[in-house]
Each structure stands twice: as C-alpha cells, then as structure tokens.
Structure 1
Amino acid sequence: MKNKFIVNTAAFRKENSAKLDQAAQIHRAKELGFAAIEIRNELLDGSLEELERISQQAQAEQLEVYFSVGDVLFKDQHLNPAFEQYLEQMRNLGAQYLKMNLGNFSYPNASAGAQLNDYLDGSFHLYLENNQAPNESDLQKTIAFFQQNTCPDISYCFDIANWEWLQADVYEAAKQLAPVTDYLHLKNFVYDNSNKKVTSLDKGILDWRRIIKIFTQVNQYGFEYYAEPDILQSDLELVQQSLS
C-alpha cells in the first residue's frame, strides 16, 4: 500500500500560542507536500461552522482529514461518555479517522469492550495513541487491550518520542506493538537542562530511522512538532528517502 504523509496542526502552532486557525493551515499542508492534515480537538472553537469550514477547505485542497482528540477512550473502566460527541465532530470534519488515548482500562472487562464494538461499524477507523501520561498510555495495558480487541477498525498510532515521558524503552515498545500499528507519529526530543523538549526529527536524540524499520506494516506517517516550513519539508523528504 502506498505511503501516506500526514501533518498534525501542532506543526503550525508556535510555542505558547493557545489558538490556531486550523482551516487556514490546510493550504500550507498541501503546499508542503502532505496528503492529509490532522486536526486537533483542543484547538477547535466548539462551533459547527468551524468544523464545516475545515471540511470544505480540505475537500477543495483534496486533503484527507484525521481527527486527534486529547482525551481517553476509557474512563473508570467504561467507555468515555464523550465518545459519541467526538464521533459527531469527526463526521462534521469530513474525517474517517479518530485518534484517542487508551485511558483507565484493564482486563477482563467484557462490557466496556462490547460498548466500543457497538460503534465500530466500518464507517471510520479508530486509533489509540500513546500520550505523555503513564496512567493513560500504559504499555502492558495497551498490549492486553489489543489481545482482546482484534477488530480491523481499530489499530495503534505509535508516537516515537512520547515513550520517553512514559519511562518505557521505545525500541522494546516498538517491537511489542508493531503487529497492531499502521500509523507512526514522528517527532524527536532533546534535553533542555533537565527537561525533555520535543524537536524536529534530525535535531533529537532518538534514532528515528531505526524505529521506522521495526514497523513493517506501517504506511501512514504523521509529523507532530512545531517547525519552520523549510524544516518540515526537509524532514518529510528525509523520511521519504529512508522509506525508498
């Protein structure tokens, strides 16, 4: 399957900037050579008008839309009550991809899994992703979840840098989750004094080329870090070269 390159709107939001007109970034994403844009839920203003504007703009630019929600799929062992609302937002965006974090979920829990399966009707694809919160993205719970949930409409989005915040070895996590992963979120990190800081790909510590090679099933690559356009374009070309 042909590789798809996606840019998350975090790439266009300068540090400490709370707002971003995401519809206005769609043309920029197209110009930089991306095939899809990932809209961030926390940067939306909450209006239906904005969702429809993003959808129309993406259609005009012939860009696919992904929807990233910074919330958990499971709360207190139950499906998040806001899940239906996120699905509605996704559809108003003209998207068919929804991405969330696992959250507080442990097995056995047949009822919560059944609740989720009621929604997985083939009309969209659900991604689980590791964020930087250990209680929401635990590696062992994630492995257990996918052992119990084999529906083809759900798979993993592996963020290569966030494991540093989760105190898990990224290369070991990659090996364990590669069979259920078809989407990589690319970014890197450095130490700024004693604090970890997200960076563009070639400015960080991680051997991202080594990580990419572990994921033989992946064909979607998302770029999720702020960078100037020339750096984003350069990193996109580096990834494309590494895959050729």
Structure 2
Amino acid sequence: MKWGGSVSKTFIINTAAFKTPDCQSLNQLSKISEAKQLGYSAIEIRNELLTGDNQELIAIATKAKELNIEVYFSVGDVLFSNNELNPKLSRYIEQMHLLDSRNLKINLGIFDSTNQNNLVEQLSQIIDNSYSIYIENNQTPIENDLQQTIEFFRIIPKTFNISYCFDIANWEWLNTNVYNAAKELAPVTRYVHLKNISDKNGKKEVTSLSQGILDWQRLIQILNMTDKFGFEYYAEPDILKSDLALVKHSLL
C-alpha cells in the first residue's frame, strides 16, 4: 500500500535524538526550536528527562504553541503494574495536560487477561477521548510479550482511544521476529517509532535509519494503518534531517 497525498501524516522527533549517549540530562525546552528547524511537525518530550517542575511543562507548552509544533509525551513506565492500573498514571496524565499535549505513550506492563471486566473497568476510569494513549514496546520481554499485547487489544473496547506505537528496533531485545510482529499488530498500530539497529560482535546498538540491519521501508509498508512517524535515536542534525527526507520520500 502507498500513502496518498490526502492522508495527513505527522513526523515526530523524540528528544532522545538530541541527547548524546554519555549525557544524563537534557534541557528539552531548548530543543523545540531545533526540532522545528529540522522540519519535524511534532516533538516528543520524555518524562525521565523532566525536572518534575510544573513550570517547566508550562514553558514547553508555551514555546511549542509559539512555534506551532505539536507535543507528544513519552513515559518510560507501564500502564499496568502487578495486574492493576499504575497508580502513577494520574500524574502522567496531569503532566500531559500541562504540556498541552493530547498524546500519551507508555509501555503495557503485566495485566490479568482472565479478568476482562476488571481490566476494562480500570481503563474506563482514565479514558478520555480528548487524548490518545499509545502502547509501546520497550526492551523488557516480560512487559512486552507479543501474545499478551495481541490479547490486550482483543479485550479492550474499540471505543477506547488506545492504539499501538510499534518501535521497530526494540523487538531485537524481545527475541521476536519484527516482521511477524508487524503483521500481527498492524491493525492496531497508528504510530511507528523509527530507528535501526546494528549487531557488532553480539552487541546490539541503535543506529540511524541508513546504517542498520532492519528493512524499515518494508516495515512501514506492513504497518500501513500508521499516520505518525517518530524518530528516536541520537544523531547529528544533518542525519536527522536526511533521515526525515528518506522517510517522507518512501511514503510518496
């Protein structure tokens, strides 16, 4: 399938793209202008790089609005913890609203699929169709089992504004064939996290799109219900710009 010109697509840069591997912190507010200059239509703010100050969130929202760039919010935590809805979720939703964002990305975690009614009831307490929740696969196998993910999307009502963010590289850490996973999750995937991976002497490393072993073009063709494309890897600005052009060209 090819994407026609009438399909609106969002190109998102995750702030991990600006953080060098040896740096522990990042002023995400200062990167909004750079994201805009590189040609991205949205920036994804990472929860773990925030200071915890609400004023920082408001400042990010204000700057993004000034530059007309959309804000996404990435939380490095799980939706379900010990078979219950994560008690920290209310704070994450509050942070998302302070960022003036309508997009919250989080990992699935572990839930009890045998108690469908309880699971749906818990989710209904936080579901608000004014924003979207994206479930993403991180690099922790127990939290991202493919069959459990498929079961989760089978159980939840279609009316819930929850879909999948498919990180194409993280499956290498989950011992799951990425192309098979893409075929299974394509119907519920509305967001793709793009990056590539190299395997040097048994050591996996995230790379820019043109350097790794994954056929990312094939993957975004499989994931053809997607209209959001995120870039989540550190690279020099010229690479981030050229990789964006590569992806846009592949979608013509």
Encode CA deviations 1:171-193: one digit per residue, 9 max, x unaligned.
00000000000100000000133
Question: Does 2:187 align with 1:179?
Answer: yes
The Cα of 1:34 is off from its aligned counterpart by: 0.4
Aligned ranges for residues 217-228 of structure 1 at < 5 Å? 217-228=225-236
TM-score (norm 2): 0.95
Q: Distance in 1 between matches of 2:125 and 2:110?
A: 19
CA contact (8 A) 2:127 2:160 kept: no
The Cα of 1:118 is off from its aligned counterpart by: 2.0
Q: Distance in 1 between matches of 2:201 and 2:15?
A: 27
Question: Does 2:117 align with 1:129?
Answer: no
CA contact (8 A) 2:93 2:104 kept: yes
2:101 match:
95
Q: Distance in 1 between matches of 2:201 and 2:175?
A: 18
Total equivalences in the alignment? 244
Q: Distance in 2 between matches of 1:84 and 1:112?
A: 17
Question: What's the secondary structure of 2:79's corresponding residue?
Answer: strand
Q: Please, which of 38, 44, 47 is the counterpart of residue 38 of structure 1? A: 44
Aligned ranges for residues 125-164 of structure 1 at < 5 Å? 125-149=132-156, 150-164=158-172
AA matched with 1:50: E
Q: Please, which of 68, 73, 76 is the counterpart of residue 62 of structure 1? A: 68
CA contact (8 A) 1:106 1:145 kept: no
Q: Distance in 2 between matches of 1:12 and 1:106?
A: 37
Q: 169-178 or 188-197: which moved more?
A: 188-197
1:215 match:
223
1:25 match:
31
Q: Distance in 1 between matches of 2:204 and 2:112?
A: 29
Encode CA deviations 1:46-69: one digit per residue, 9 max, x unaligned.
001110110011001101100000
Q: Which runs of 4+ in 1 moved over 4 A?
A: none
Question: What's the secondary structure of 1:7's corresponding residue?
Answer: strand
2:204 match:
196
The Cα of 1:152 is off from its aligned counterpart by: 4.2
Q: Distance in 2 between matches of 1:205 and 1:177?
A: 21
CA contact (8 A) 2:12 2:40 kept: yes
AA matched with 2:199: Y
CA contact (8 A) 1:106 1:141 kept: no
Q: Distance in 1 between matches of 2:124 and 2:103?
A: 16
Unmatched runs of 5 consecutive residues or more in structure 2? 1-6
